[in-house]
Amino acid sequence: MNVWLPLLVVFSAGGLAASLLVVYLFYLLGQLPPGCYVGEVLPGVTADCLRVLKSEYAYIGPVPLDVAAAVWFVVNIAAALWLYRTLERRAARFIFWWRLLGLALLPYLLYLEFAVLKAVCIYCTIMHIFIVADFVVITIFLRRVSPLIR
């Protein structure tokens, strides 16, 4: 069981680092993070963070999605620690549904990037990968420790 907590924390920390880098550099300093424009990655789709981050879809009301993502990853870390320390059923349920919420948003975000904006942000993609990896790990973890959860 000792390998699971570091995996969950590392995946969430990786996503948190990507989101905080964008928040700090783009939203606070007004600079593009490194590697934000690579050119065409697929036919008709470019790696262009500026197009993604300046779009109307980059916000939930006045809040940048990267800020919301940072909060999501912080809650992930807290939930992983809660589950690891207590093995309570409500912690297991929360962590599963919280991570499922993050996973459920990905198809919409990918649709916006690929179909609507025709641009992807490398940092968003990094966060997407960590969200999927995190969900896979928590699902395997919960299946393996389900007899221990109270």
The domain limits of the chain are: 4-148
Rounded mean pLDDT of 26-46? 87
Calpha distance 105→99 (Å, rounded) = 10
Taking alpha carbons only, the member of 107, 124, 128, 105 closest to residue 49 is 124
pTM: 0.90
**Residue 146 confidence (pLDDT):** 72
Place of tokens 């996973």: 103
pLDDT in tens, 42-80: 888 999 999 999 999 999 999 999 999 999 999 999 999
Please tell me the CATH code under which domain 4-148 is placed.
Answer: 1.20.1440.130
**C-beta of residue 4 within 8 angstroms of C-beta of residue 65:** no
Cα–Cα distance, 140 to 1 (Å, whole number): 11
